[in-house]
A and B are shown apart, each in its own frame.
Chain A
């Protein structure tokens, strides 16, 4: 299995709702990432989990709450979002975790297809 699977593909939520985005990979990758992407912009890193521990939080507002239940799963819990949070949310994984001086190429990212979030 060489895929990263994201659900749901589309999500529409109100500003008072609580919802979650889910991501799953079975490649044995030890780092998992959440990116946010606005239209015609590059992906922006939000969080990195390395060996199931939160390693990087790029100053993301607390209304986004990541969770890594195990090495294959990554969730992004959403609460009290704003309309400007509407975007494509991309999950990715890479072979090795952070903090290791890795051989070149081990940090190639495998992306999911994304979850398109609309906040009304």
Chain B
């Protein structure tokens, strides 16, 4: 069953702008992960944030986690056309061994 809800469902921006995607979830989690999927391809793991962390960075990616609000955000800075893809959050249960995916945000970066 789908645990996370993402918004927006679709986002279109110009190259160089920042893109922010949000994810909300319902139950307590061990960690939250973000994945990227190019059209019709497999998902690629981007970044993981643990339930006791509030912010994490990886290159142009910044992830925040607010467990009190049960929400997370993914920020992609200085976006590139190659960032065009669908982005999914996935929450891990308390045991840390099962993932449930959110609905996804379709990001289009126009050159």
Contacts and interface: CB of A to CB of B under 8 A. Distances in A.
Given A101-B96, A104-B96, A106-B96, A113 B103 contact: no
Contacts, number: 73
A32 interface: no
A12 interface: no
Interface of B: 2, 30-31, 33, 35, 40-45, 48, 50-51, 88, 90, 92, 95-104, 106
B88 to A, nearest CB: 6
30 contacts: A6-B42, A40-B106, A41-B103, A42-B2, A42-B101, A42-B103, A43-B88, A96-B97, A98-B97, A101-B97, A102-B95, A102-B97, A104-B48, A104-B50, A104-B92, A104-B96, A105-B31, A106-B96, A106-B97, A107-B31, A107-B96, A107-B98, A108-B48, A109-B45, A109-B90, A111-B35, A111-B42, A112-B42, A114-B41, A114-B42
Contacts of B50: 104-105
A110 interface: yes
Given A98-B97, A102-B95, A104-B50, 14 more contacts: A40-B106, A41-B103, A42-B2, A42-B102, A43-B88, A88-B40, A90-B42, A98-B98, A104-B30, A104-B31, A104-B48, A104-B96, A109-B45, A111-B42
